[in-house]
Structure 1
Amino acid sequence: MVAGLQGKRAAAGGRWRLVGLLLARPVGWGSDRGSGVVWVVGFMAVVWVVAVTAMTVGSVRAARHRADAAADLAALAGAARVAEGRAAACRAAEAIAAKSGGRLSACGVRGRVVEISVTVVLKVPIATDALRVSSRARAGPVGTEGVF
């Protein structure tokens, strides 16, 4: 058996072996067979992880902007109703925060200034629990030195 294999190697010039009618490959090449599949699968896994991470970062940034906008609008709505009392100001702020995709987590009225905290809940594929993104805003009458 070994003599027959050496004869094929010698007949092919010592470096190449005939595999089929028209196919020739280097001797000893069989040990790498299928390694390309492993590399492709590994590369696809890396691309997938990078894509999921990029989508997660993008969705967190979008939720942060949504929370900022909801807090700003809720604070302005509360400041518009502050003359009617604390309850009316916080109700208006809560309604605007809910319409903006957030949840009012804190509402404070001090004089004519309304301070608001809004939370946006976000489900991301990497984390097991939902993420909470919070933002705060303050609105009131403008004086010579800014908001009172």
Structure 2
Amino acid sequence: MGFFTEFREFAVKGNVIDLAVGVVIGTAFGAITTSLVKDLIMPPLGVIISNVDFTKLKLVLKEAEVVNGAVVTEAVTLNYGTFLQTVVNFLIISFAIFLMVRTINRYRRKEAAKPAPPINKQEVLLAEIRDILKEQNGTVPGPSAAPSEV
């Protein structure tokens, strides 16, 4: 089997394609969630907390050096506002995934809880007879065994 044939078989398997679709959808979902947090959740939250834009929140560790109006050295900052926004983004994504997994698990539990098909009483009786014969003779005669003479 050639290298390319083997690779084609690997790449065309359903699991690989399902995984690729999952990654693409997950990326799109991440972009939607990022926009939800950045554009819809954080602005009202910033207004509630005295008109704060979270992306601009930072702690300056070292001021920028400016000589004759030109920046010589950039400021060193801890951008904790961006970090807070990313944390909120993560919480929303993880909550949405939790809800999806919870729904899937509920569906699976319902499927597993379905009653088993009714047991055929004739099969149960035949199994009991087989077990009794096993106890008495030590073996069970098969369908082609000749009847024993008494």
Asked if Structure 1 and Structure 2 have the same fold, meaning a TM-score greater than 0.5 normalized by the shorter chain, the answer is no
TM-score by length of 1: 0.30
Higher relative contact order (CA 8 A, sep 6+): 1
